Amino acid sequence: MALENPTPDENGRSQPENDLVVQSAGPTFAQAEQHVTDLSSDIVQQLPRERGERVTCRRITGNHYRCNWWSPQIAAQYGNRSASAMTTTTHRVSKSQFLHVTKTNGTLAIKAADDN
């Protein structure tokens, strides 16, 4: 933590000298994480799926993502064959996977996270 005396504002006024501004620089042993672009939407377009499946993907941290494959349930289980539009209640996660994904020269390299 660094303590600094306040600087005057645009009108030349400053806080009294006994007031200090506290600025946190973070721990000295930690390095800043490199900026990584979120590739979730690109990943969803690349992943294979069965007919009727939906795929969702969320960035967890760095180049690691969690992807879920959602499959429709049989409409007869709900007593209404026209319930197919209600995806929140009629789709279930049929597969879930953690992926490590990088992008080089516009090409995605997708690996299962446990293969690293």
Q: Are 41 and 29 in contact (CB under 8 A)?
A: no
Q: Per the domain annotation, does 26 fall within a domain?
A: no
Q: How many whole angstroms separate alpha carbon 37 and alpha carbon 59? A: 10
Name the phi and psi angles at 106, rounded to 5: 80, 0
Report pLDDT for 1. Answer: 47
Q: How many whole angstroms separate alpha carbon 39 and alpha carbon 66? A: 12
Q: What is the pLDDT along the chain (116 residues), one digit of tens a residue?
A: 455 555 565 656 655 555 555 556 666 777 776 778 899 999 999 999 999 899 999 999 889 999 999 998 765 555 555 555 554 567 889 999 999 999 999 999 999 987 65
Domain that holds residue 65: 34-115
Q: Per the domain annotation, does 50 fall within a domain?
A: yes
Name the phi and psi angles at 103, rounded to 5: -125, 120
Q: Per the domain annotation, does 18 fall within a domain?
A: no
- Which two three-digit tokens encode residue 8? 């005057």
Report pLDDT for 73. Answer: 77
Q: How many whole angstroms separate alpha carbon 30 and alpha carbon 72? A: 45
Q: Per the domain annotation, does 28 fall within a domain?
A: no
Q: Per the domain annotation, does 101 fall within a domain?
A: yes
Q: Per the domain annotation, does 48 fall within a domain?
A: yes
Report pLDDT for 87. Answer: 47
Query: Angle 50-64-70 (CA atoms, 0-180°, nearest 5)?
Result: 25
Q: How many whole angstroms separate alpha carbon 52 and alpha carbon 71? A: 7
Q: Per the domain annotation, does 74 fall within a domain?
A: yes
Tally of domains in the chain: 1
Predicted TM-score (pTM) of this structure: 0.59
Report pLDDT for 63. Answer: 92
Q: Per the domain annotation, does 68 fall within a domain?
A: yes
